[in-house]
Amino acid sequence: MLEQEGRRNQFVERLTGPLAPEAAYLAGAPVALCCAALFNQLWGLSFFLFSLGLFLGMFFRNPNRKIPEGKNLVVSPADGKVIEINEIQLPDGSEGIRIGIFLSIFDVHINRAPVEGRVLAITRSGSAFKAAFNNEAPARNVQLSMKMEAPGGQLVWVVQITGLIARRIVCHAKEDVYLEKGDRYGLIRFGSRTDVLLPKASKVLVELRQQVRGGKTVIGQLAEVPQDA
């Protein structure tokens, strides 16, 4: 178990500023063009470009969050709305629970680790770009799944899933690094979905259609693993 192995290869956050680094060029370009439009007295175009730059800047906002303390607590990996709570078969073949969170274009898109633990595997799969709230999205959309082992030995998966507009998944975590609960490890651009897969014995602490905040809202609690498991 991780408690016996220690916390080697501690993850170091790269998403620490008020905005994700992508904002510099994605939001900066429209603002620069806005200045050029103002110089040429193109008032309508300048207003549009300024609004676009402001929207892109807000999309990449990265607020600090106070991470809840407590053993075995699972925090939301993203801001958004809970759109699915179902029993499923986990990637390792065991029974589990999926909590699906839909991120609109107005939500913070920074992804956070739902639990503390070591990253055992990172897997990319899927080829479709269906709407993130589509029932087929978790199985078919382009996605990145990160398998983690919590300090008590429980296995948890957090899955970044693209949507109709989202086309790029960013994940800074690597295999064998140790993340603290709430660590900012990646993001998905422009509307998406983030799922957490938990062991079946876990307790779900959110409801459908509930608004959640990444790293702040407690969405579940892992059950203790028997010492002889």
Segments making up each domain of the chain, as ranges: 23-59, 65-221
Task: Kindly name the residue from 46, 145, 192, 202 that is annotated as catalytic.
Answer: 192
CATH code, residues 65-221: 2.70.70.10
Average pLDDT, the chain: 87
Range of lowest pLDDT (18-27, 80-89, 181-190): 18-27
Rounded CA gap, 122 and 145, in Å?
Answer: 6
pLDDT tens digits for range 119-173: 999 999 988 888 777 788 888 888 999 999 999 999 999 999 987 776 689 999 9
Task: Tell me the HSE value of 70 on the side-chain side, using a 13 A CA sphere.
Answer: 15
Instruction: Give the number of other Cβ atoms within 10 Å of residue 4's Cβ.
Output: 7
Q: What is the pTM of this model?
A: 0.86
Active site residue 145: no
Please tell me the predicted confidence (pLDDT) of residue 159. 97
pLDDT tens digits for range 13-57: 988 888 877 766 676 777 778 788 777 888 887 888 777 777 777
Please tell me the predicted confidence (pLDDT) of residue 127. 83
Please tell me the predicted confidence (pLDDT) of residue 4. 45
Which tokens in the block code for residue 118? 């070591």
